[in-house]
Amino acid sequence: MKFFIGFLLVLCCFYSCSKQNNQNIDVSKVDVNFKVNRFDIDFYTTEAKDLQQLKNKYAVFFPKEITDSIAIAKINSKDEQELFAETQKVYKDFEPIKKQLTSLFKHVKYYNPKFKSPKVVTMLTNIDYESRVVYADSLLILSLDVFLGKNHPFYNDYPNYIKENNTKEHLIVDVANTIIAQQVLPKPNDRTFLQKMIAEGVKLYVLDAYLPTVANHLKFGANPDKYNWLLANEEQIWSYFIEKELLFSTDTKLNSRFLETAPFSKFYSEQDKLSPGKVGVWVGWQIVRSYMKHNNVSLQELLKMNTTDLYSKSKYKPRK
C-alpha cells in the first residue's frame, strides 16, 4: 500500500484439520450494517476524464502529494493492470467475503454491544504484506492482492511460512485479528515466558469466539501438517518447557524461538522443521481454553483476568 498507506496510517492515528471449538452462538438477531467500497475496481477502471469524480468519492486517498499525473500513470501502468486483473480473478465477486464479514461483525457486536461496523474499502497495495489489513474504528481497508493464494506466482519470492497465509481463507482471520488488536486485552503481569504465552493465547481464544466456524489451523496460521504436529506432540512440548525450566524464564530469546512468526520453532532438535513457528502461542491457547472449560466466566470477564490467576485456575493438562 506504499502509494496510499502512508497517508492512511496518519489518518488512522487520528481517527482445521482438527476439532472446532464450541463457541457457536446465535447471532441472527444481531443487527449490523456496513458498506463495501471497491476502490480497487473504481481506481483501475477510471479514465482521465473521470478522475476528479473518483477523487471526490475517495478524497482521503488523494492528498495533494498525489497529483493527477501520478494517479493516471499508476492506472495505466502495465504492471498495475496485471495486478488488478489477477486480483479480479479471485475477488470480482465479493459477496462471499461480505457474508464472512457480516458474520464476524455480528459476533464482535454480540460480545461488544458498542461495536460499530466499519466501512470496508478494498484496494491493491502492490503486495504490501505489512499493511494487508488496516482497521481504524470506522474504516477497514483490505489489501486484496495479498490474498491471492499461496501458490500464486506473485509470491514466488516469499518464504513458505509467510505465503501459507496469503490465501482467500486467511483474509477473514486477518480482519478478526486486526480488530482484536484494537481491543483491551490482558497484559502479562511480568516478563516470564508463561505470562507471554497466556497473553497471546487469550487473543486466539477471542478469535475462537469471533470466528467459531473457521478451522483451527487457519486461525493459528499454520499448514495442516504442521498443525497436526502440534496436536500429536502437545505433551512433549509441555515437558520440554518444564524440563528446560522455561515457564518462568525472562530470557527474551524465547520470543523468537517460540512466540514470534517463524518457519518453525526452535527446540534445537531434529524435529524442529516439522513444527510450526509460535509453538508457545499455541500452548498458551490451550491453557486459556482449559481455563474457560473449567471456569464459568464470560468472554468479557476473561479479558479482565491477569495471566497468573488464569494459569493457576486453568487445570491445564497436555494431551498425551
d(CA 196, CA 256): 12
Confidence (pTM) = 0.90
Do 245 and 162 lie in one domain? The reply is no
Q: In which domain, by residue range, is 280 found?
A: 193-312
Given a cut of 90, is residue 183 above it in pLDDT? no
3-state helix, strand, coil in the chain (%, to 5): 55, 5, 40
Do 176 and 205 lie in one domain? The reply is no
Segment 61-65 mean pLDDT: 91
The per-residue pLDDT for 185 is: 67
d(CA 116, CA 128): 27
Do 205 and 255 lie in one domain? The reply is yes
User: Residue 124: exposed, middle, or buried by beta-carbon count in 10 A (0-12, 13-18, 19+)?
Assistant: buried
Of 199, 222, 211, 230, residue with least CA distance to 307: 199
Given a cut of 90, is residue 12 above it in pLDDT? no
Residue 16 lies in a domain: no
Do 104 and 163 lie in one domain? The reply is yes
For the chain, how many structural domains are there in total?
2
Do 121 and 255 lie in one domain? The reply is no
Do 152 and 198 lie in one domain? The reply is no
**Tens digit of pLDDT for each residue in 248-304?**
999 999 999 999 999 999 999 998 999 999 999 999 999 999 999 999 999 999 998
Residue that wins the pLDDT comparison between 182 and 243: 243
Residue 6 lies in a domain: no
Q: What percent of the chain has pLDDT over 70?
A: 91
Given a cut of 80, is residue 9 above it in pLDDT? no
Residue 207 lies in a domain: yes
The per-residue pLDDT for 161 is: 92
**Tens digit of pLDDT for each residue in 114-169?**
999 999 999 999 998 888 999 987 999 999 999 999 999 999 999 999 999 999 99
188 falls in which pLDDT band (50, 70, 90)? Answer: low
**Tens digit of pLDDT for each residue in 24-57?**
789 999 999 999 999 999 999 999 999 999 999 9
- Choosing from 181, 211, 242, the residue where a domain stops is 181
d(CA 135, CA 318): 36
The per-residue pLDDT for 21 is: 44
Do 127 and 227 lie in one domain? The reply is no
The per-residue pLDDT for 182 is: 87
Do 110 and 242 lie in one domain? The reply is no
Question: CA 147, 158, 90: angle at the middle one, nearest 5?
Answer: 20
Residue 44 lies in a domain: yes
User: Could you tell me the CA-to-CA distances from 54 to 38, 79, 119, 243, 312 in Å, in that order?
Assistant: 12, 21, 17, 62, 57
Do 229 and 298 lie in one domain? The reply is yes
Residue 168 lies in a domain: yes
Do 220 and 257 lie in one domain? The reply is yes
Residue 1 lies in a domain: no
20 falls in which pLDDT band (50, 70, 90)? Answer: very low
The per-residue pLDDT for 89 is: 97
Average pLDDT for the chain? 91
Contacts of 225 (CB under 8 A, 6+ apart): none
Segment 194-221 mean pLDDT: 96
- Choosing from 158, 181, 204, the residue where a domain stops is 181
- Choosing from 148, 181, 214, the residue where a domain stops is 181
Residue 11 lies in a domain: no
The per-residue pLDDT for 187 is: 63
Grid cell locating 53: 469524480
d(CA 116, CA 106): 10
Do 223 and 288 lie in one domain? The reply is yes
**Tens digit of pLDDT for each residue in 77-120?**
999 999 999 999 999 999 999 999 999 999 999 999 999 999 99
Given a cut of 70, is residue 10 above it in pLDDT? no
The per-residue pLDDT for 23 is: 66
Helix (H) or strand (E) holding 251: none
Helix (H) or strand (E) holding 36: strand 36-38
Q: Are 254 and 201 in contact (CB under 8 A)?
A: no
Beta strands in 93-181, from DSSP E residues, in sequence order: 119-123, 133-136, 139-143
The per-residue pLDDT for 273 is: 96
Residue 319 lies in a domain: no
The per-residue pLDDT for 162 is: 92
Do 155 and 35 lie in one domain? The reply is yes
d(CA 97, CA 84): 18
